[in-house]
Structure 1
């Protein structure tokens, strides 16, 4: 057995055992036929495709195949929220950069975050006029810039946005990568409309306070945004449930992580009081973020397990064989 074939077979462990036994050879053969000569490792695209197909098939086996459409719906909400926040922080960068508070600035802007927010606003525009892959590439660029803000700020001594701003934005961005390939036109137009509207509202509010968004009560925008996102997700879940559509419920469960992280600052203050810290420092914030991620992930896993248990209990027989209508390479 060639090394490449062996490595593809290892990737197939993403699929359920019954599926691998029934179609493993066929799947590996398909990928090998499409692979160029001389390759020793599966390409990143093939690896992602196998893992995604295996995840879909495992969810289907657990009776939670509708989780995937729910995640795509959650990605639409996450992308819209992320671009709205980018509009808010873009306004804050301008106003705070012009305030004479005696704090370091990044040229005419408050922090290097202006580069991150510009990338997010660009993603909203790209989503309107370009294929989805270009939107994902722009979101990926924004995520890289968000991650680079920390080491660049430390090494170059440049001011950066607070972690309470960067962390929820990054999680929203990761979820936004799951945007559906096909969407109606009005959904594509919402982010570039919401972003300047949010920027206008934020600009008026911050101009009255006249304080840099790295200080004072800037964090109020985040939990308020989290509450708004929660209410919208709950409304969507209720409306879709009336149509016997569970996408809304799965979207709500998926969005619990970014919703929780949008409230990271007040949650960290509570944690600081519990552990006896004088303020929500880096360690307290990190621990709180980890707790939010673990709790929301466990909630989603428990929902999938409950669906699997309900399906198993209501079925006379349980089979591990794949359905004949599934694609042998992607599991759909």
Structure 2
């Protein structure tokens, strides 16, 4: 057995054991036939195909094939939320306190966060005009800038948005990477439109002196409110789709529990923390950890519950998702 064959067999472990026994040799043989003579490692495209095929078969065996379409629907809602928040924070960055107040700032901006929010707004434009593959690269760039912001700000000794603002943005962006490959132009315009509306609303509130900073009530009230609205929209969408027998909305709602939970972290920490003033970093960290565990646990329990109720379909006569052959 060659190294390449052994590595393909390792990737094949993403498939259920029964499926591997029935079609494993056929799938690996197909990839080996297409491999270059001196190839030693599976190509990234082949590895991604095998992992996707294995995931589809495991979901099919569990009777939850509608999970992936539901996650893609949740990704659209997550991107709408992420770009709207970028519109709010990016606009607020353009209005720092007056210099004579003596409040630290970064040039004409509130903090280095302006770079991150600009990247998210750019991603919204790319989603509207470019194919999904290009849009994912734009989302990934915005994600990387968001993740890199705390260490870069620390190295430059510059201000940055609080972690409880950046963390839900990262979670929303990670979910947004599951953007559907095919969607109408109108749907692809929604993230950009939500960002535009957020910019206009924030500018209006700035004119009324109704916009605060990243701190205080902004975290403890605004972000949990956004998380609640995200769940309400998901629930309404799930109910509407369920009327037509479409279960995607239900899976989207369960998937959105995690990002909505991270948006609610400041409010949750304030509610369950000590009553002796502002929320401590330790309380925020513990609350975020609890959300990071509870959100995926809800999704996993839902999958297990559905898999017990829905009989797994038989593989006989179905085409292989990787090589197209039939049993």
Q: Normalising by the residue count of structure 1, what TM-score does the alignment of the two structures yield? A: 0.90
Q: Which residue of 2 aligns with 1:41?
A: 41
- The 3-state SS of whatever aligns with 1:236 is helix
Residues in 1 aligned to 2:55 and 2:113: alpha-carbon distance in whole angstroms? 35
1:330, CA displacement in angstroms? 8.8
Deviations along 1:136-179, one digit per CA (max 9) or x if unpaired, are 00000001001110110111111111111101111110011111
Contact 2:123 2:135 in 1 (8 A): yes
Q: Which residue of 1 aligns with 2:231?
A: 230
Question: Please, which of 293, 310, 325 is the counterpart of residue 319 of structure 2?
Answer: 325
CA distance in 1, matches of 2:317, 2:281: 49
Residue 251 of structure 2 corresponds to residue 250 of structure 1: yes
Q: Contact (CA 8 Å) 2:53, 2:321: kept in 1 or not?
A: no
Distance 1:239-1:212 versus aligned 2 partners, 3 A rule: closer
Q: Deviations over 1:86-121 (max 9, x none)?
A: 101111111136575423222211111111111111
Asked whether the equivalents of residues 93 and 114 of structure 1 are also in contact (C-alpha less than 8 Å), the reply is yes
Work out whether residues 18 and 322 of structure 1, in 8 Å CA contact, stay in contact via their aligned partners in 2: no
Tell me, in whole angstroms, the C-alpha distance in 2 between the residues paired with 1:178 and 1:269. Answer: 32
Does the residue aligned with 1:327 lie in a helix, a strand or coil? Answer: coil
- SS of the residue corresponding to residue 104 of structure 2 reads coil
TM-score by length of 2: 0.92
Question: For structure 2, which runs of at least 5 residues remain unmatched after alignment?
Answer: none
Asked which structure has the greater RCO (Cα within 8 Å, sep 6+), the reply is 1
SS in 1 for 2:38: coil
Structure 1 CA distance for aligned equivalents of residues 324 and 175 of structure 2: 21
2:255–2:299 CA contact under 8 A, matched in 1: yes
Q: CA RMSD in A?
A: 2.2
Between 283-292 and 158-167, the greater mean CA deviation after superposition: 283-292
2:190 aligns with 190
More moved, 209-218 vs 14-23? 209-218
The answer to whether the 8 A contact 2:205-2:211 is kept is no
Q: Is the 8 A contact 1:268 1:284 kept in 2?
A: yes
Q: Is the 8 A contact 1:19 1:322 kept in 2?
A: no
Instruction: Return the offset for 1:25.
Output: 1.6
1:95–1:207 CA contact under 8 A, matched in 2: no
Residues 322 and 93 of structure 1, relative CA distance in 2, 3 Å threshold: farther
SS in 1 for 2:246: coil
Which residue number in structure 2 is paired with residue 298 of structure 1? 297
Instruction: Answer yes or no: is the 8 Å Cα contact 2:202–2:211 preserved in 1.
Output: no
Q: Provide the residue aligned with 1:267 in structure 2.
A: 268
Please identify, of 206-215 and 118-127, the stretch whose mean Cα deviation from structure 2 is larger.
206-215
| CA displacement at 1:304 relative to structure 2 | 0.8
- Secondary structure in structure 2 of the residue aligned to 1:95: coil
Q: Which moved more, 1:217-226 or 1:109-118?
A: 217-226
Residue 201 of structure 2 is matched in structure 1 by 201
C-alpha separation in 1, matches of 2:262 and 2:159: 22
Number of matched pairs? 324
1:237-296 per-residue CA deviation (whole Å, 9 max, x = no partner) reads 0000000110000000000000111111111223432xx886433332222112112111
Whether contact under 8 Å (1:74, 1:255) holds in the other structure is yes
Residue aligned with 2:102, SS: coil
Q: Secondary structure at the residue paired with 2:119?
A: helix
Distance 2:218 2:113 in 1: 15
Output the CA distance in 1 between the equivalents of 2:211 and 2:234.
32
Q: Distance in 1 between the 2:37 and 2:114 partners?
A: 45
